Each structure stands twice: as structure tokens, then as C-alpha cells.
Amino acid sequence: MRHAHTDETLSAPSLQPPNPAEKGSNMKNITVKYGVDSITKQVEDDFTFGDLQDSDAFKAALGFGDRTKALVDGIEQDRATVIPANATVRLETAANTKA
């Protein structure tokens, strides 16, 4: 005979693996594409497009520089906007606007 309480207790930890770096903050997954490369990574819930564009970890993984624009579904995003959970962000090299 199965006991629902025991089953729930045993299965509950597998729903969300413990993350010692997580101190009360929620995390989300985002996928970032640059050129032919892409990476899916877990970031903080308040991670913005500007945070992404300034991130040394993403720069190193994908090889982009300081002058980029972030697009979701082809629409350029403001640097201050929080990236939605499970979003796919395409980074492109921004055109030089100096005359």
C-alpha cells in the first residue's frame, strides 16, 4: 500500500534541485543567440537586457563585444527592461552611430 504523504515527501526535493547560490532570489532560464552560437543559462529574475549585454560570462561564451543590441522576435529591447523567463534573445552588433 502506498502512502501519499510519504510519496510526496520523497518526490518533493526532485521538483527543484537545491541551489546553494540562491539566497531568496528566484531564477529563470534565458536563451541567448549571437551569430550561429547560442547558450541557455539560468539568471536572476531581475536580470535585464543591459545586464546581459554587459555580462562578461555571456561575452566570453558567445564572443560578442561592447556594442550590441538585444532583440526579441526581431524587436530591439531597452537595456533597462527585465528579460522575461524562457525568452530567446538575439544579440547583434550595433551599427556605429557616430558621424
pLDDT tens-digit map of 8-30: 444 444 445 555 454 556 999 99
pLDDT tens-digit map of 74-95: 999 999 999 999 999 999 998 8
* CA angle (57, 46, 31) in 5-degree steps: 50
54 pLDDT exceeds 60? yes
Write down the residue that cell numbers 531564477 correspond to. Answer: 27
Q: Which residues of 13-41 are buried (b: 16+ CB within 10 A; e: fewer)?
A: eeeeeeeeeeeeeeebebebbbeeeeeeb
| Per-chain mean pLDDT for the chain | 83
User: What domains appear along the chain, each with residue ranges and CATH number?
Assistant: 26-93 (3.10.20.90)
Per cent of the chain over pLDDT 90 is 69
What per-residue confidence (pLDDT) applies to 15? 47
What per-residue confidence (pLDDT) applies to 27? 96
